[in-house]
Structures are given as structure tokens and as C-alpha cells.
Amino acid sequence: MASVGVAAALIDKENVGAPHGKSMEGKGLGKRPLGDGGAAGGPANKLPRNKSALQPLSANVAMQQQQHQQTAAAPAATVPLPPVTTAAPHGVMGPPPPRAATSGRPGEASASTSDERPASSSASPRRWQLTDFDIGKPLGRGKFGNVYLARERKSKYIVALKVLFKNQLQQSNVEHQLRREIEIQSHLRHPNILRLYGYFYDQTRVYLILEYAARGELYKKLQSDGSFDEVRTATYIASLAKALTYCHSKHVIHRDIKPENLLRGLNGELKIADFGWSVHAPNSRRKTLCGTLDYLPPEMVEGSYHDAAVDVWSLGVLCFEFLYGTPPFEAAGHSETYKRILRVDLKFPASPQRSEGAKDLIRRLLVKDPKDRLPLEQVLQHPWILANDDPDLLKREA
């Protein structure tokens, strides 16, 4: 892994000429481009399709690095961010030792929980800075920056370090979206949601410290396999139903569930990885048009108010795409796609052959009236899910 000085130079160099298509951080409406992929904290779509974004972990963590003298950079206040909790995940290995989240208010420390590692013995916890990490290979690129494999020096814990460039965030006027994404994702704790451990920033960049999803993008696997069988699909849909049930219990609506925003952990488990369009909505009703065209629910297409039921619709679209390899309402142009969504023009291809149970679940999820869609709790009790859900399948493949 690179030294700090070299790493900073590489980070700047990697950003030069970064593609300006649909980004990892702020998705625009439109048809899904061929190269789309990547999510917050995960490998992005810009890497060549015929090359894996991942290499054996030992290749990135085995080498011992010489210790470098740390130099603290004064935090900039041009993009103020909310304080972030940096609690440790459950498991054998914890996240980097907790530090104060950089919020623009000197001396403010982030809240801690009982499963955190002990903080530094100093009276005032240090803030994270780039010198706390060894920087590894790039995992992907986006419109606003890049994602790198990184290792926290003290704990040797592997993370994904998402580096966002302030000038690009400001030019696109998405600072508020980043603040909201950080605030929401940092407070979510679920096995099927990618953890955001913390963040820090300097004069030109914002850094997000994210859980490393070792098996990469689900979208790439779907492209490689063409479609998934019913056991794998039911297993994935069940895990996402649990994650979305958790989100909704916290009044969080994701609003952009799709294969590009899902990563696979070390044991093959799914991780919802991009909360760029998510919203915390205790009043439950919103009117923003957002997400990805093929996954838009009718109420968004019509410009009506929407609530958490938009995630239920997206789960139905996702289930269809897993089983058949394409979204259910795909058409030649935007206008035709809109029309098919509004009509709920659902047609099941003759090949590959799928069971009536799978089709029944999709029909119950893709219902025009949000109130009539199958609740997430009932998704988990659907006969097809009960007959096919097999979490051990993913563990056996790990």
C-alpha cells in the first residue's frame, strides 16, 4: 500500500479525467447505461468489465509498511457535515478505533456505543486523517471521486475509503445530498446494509470510511450469470426484505434499490450500499422524482406523493430482473418505459422458465396502488420465499 504522500498524489491523479456519466453518489434519472455500476463504498462501474475489481485480500494486507510521520491537516469548513456515530460491527474483527468525526466544530467527538473499542487515552480524541490509513488499489471511480481499498494503520482493519472532491460536489450542488447520505447511513446497523464507520475531510476532499464488501458488485455477477435461479433469487429477496423492513422501522426510505446499489460481503451476503437518494421521512409522504427509470413506481411517474411503498415496488422489479435478466418494463425509449410502468404492463418471458410461485410474488409486489402492494413482512411469509430461501447457499459458495 502506498505511503501517505504518494497516496495523496495518486488520489489526485486518479481523479483527472474521471468519467462524468451517472455517478456513484448522485444518480440522475435516465436509462441505465451499459457501464453502470458501483455504489457508495463499493467498486464502481468504471473499471474494465473483463477485469475483476478485487484481488486476494492477502495481496493488499500482507506487506508490512514502514511507519511514516503523521502530519495533521487543518480541517476545512467549506462543506460542513453532521456528526457521525462510529460504532463497531458485531463479529470477530471490529472497525478502526473510534475517533471524533470531523464536523467543523473543534473538540466535538462522535457518540460511542458499548461495542466500540476503547478510545485513545488522551483527553480529547483525535480526528481521523489520511495519515491514519495505508492506501491500496482503486476499487472504482465515480463522478465526484474514487473508492480505494485502505487499511487503518493501528488496527490493520480493512475498509473502503471513498474520496470525494469538494469542488465537484459544489459544482453539482450536491453537498446537501452528501450530508443526508452520511447522516442516514451512519446510523443504520443491519447485516444487509453497508456500514459507514465515519468520515473526515481536508481542504479539497471528503473521505468516507466504509465497510469493505470483499465480493464486489452484485450487478457484475448478474451480468456474468445472465440471471439467477430461484433459490438464489429468493435468498437475496428475503435478505433485502429484512433490510428494508429495518430501514422503514427507522423511517428511512431508500428510493433507489437496484442491482448497481447492492454489494456482496465476504460470505456472499447482500449489502445495500448507496443511500444517495434515501430520505428520513417520519411523515412518510414525499414528492421528489428520483431513482432509476426502470425501477420508478407509478406514483413517481405520475408526480404523486410517495411513501415507503416505493421500496416494495423496487423489490418486485429487482426480483423480476434477478429471474429474467432484464427489468420488467424495459422499452426502447423513456416514453415507452413510462407508459409500461403506468399500465403495469407485466409480461413474463417464456425463457428461462420460472415457477408460478415466483410469478405470484412479483405480481403481488408490482401493484399500481401502493396500498395494495404486499407488505415486506408478508414477503418473508410468501410460500415461494419459504420454499426457496437458503442463506446457507451463500455461505457454501464463500
Q: Is 385 a member of any domain?
A: yes
Stated as kind and residue range, the H or E segment containing 360 is helix 356-365
Q: Which domain holds residue 318?
A: 216-397
Helical ranges in 127-188 per DSSP H: 166-171, 175-185
Domain count, the chain: 2
- Shared-domain flag, residues 84 and 167: yes
Question: Which domain-ending residue is among 161, 192, 211?
Answer: 211
- Shared-domain flag, residues 147 and 270: no
The answer to whether 166 is annotated as binding is: no
What pLDDT does residue 394 have?
A: 79
Residues forming the active site: 256
The answer to whether 211 is annotated as binding is: yes
- Shared-domain flag, residues 199 and 231: no
The answer to whether 295 is annotated as binding is: no
> Which segments of the chain have a pLDDT < 50?
6, 15-31, 33-94, 101-123, 284-290
Contacts of 56 (CB under 8 A, 6+ apart): none
Stated as kind and residue range, the H or E segment containing 310 is helix 309-324
Contacts of 315 (CB under 8 A, 6+ apart): 237, 240, 241, 244, 257, 365, 376, 379
- Shared-domain flag, residues 196 and 259: no
Q: Is 59 a member of any domain?
A: no
Q: Is the distance from CB of 160 to CB of 147 less than 8 angstroms?
A: yes
Q: State whether the Cα torsion 134-137-139-142 is positive or negative.
A: positive
Place of cell 410461485: 357
The answer to whether 162 is annotated as binding is: yes
- Shared-domain flag, residues 322 and 371: yes
Question: Which domain-ending residue is among 211, 230, 258?
Answer: 211
Question: Which domain-ending residue is among 163, 187, 211?
Answer: 211
The answer to whether 183 is annotated as binding is: no
CATH code, domain with 373: 1.10.510.10
CATH code, domain with 138: 3.30.200.20
What are the tens digits of pLDDT across the range 56-81? 332 333 332 333 333 333 333 334 44
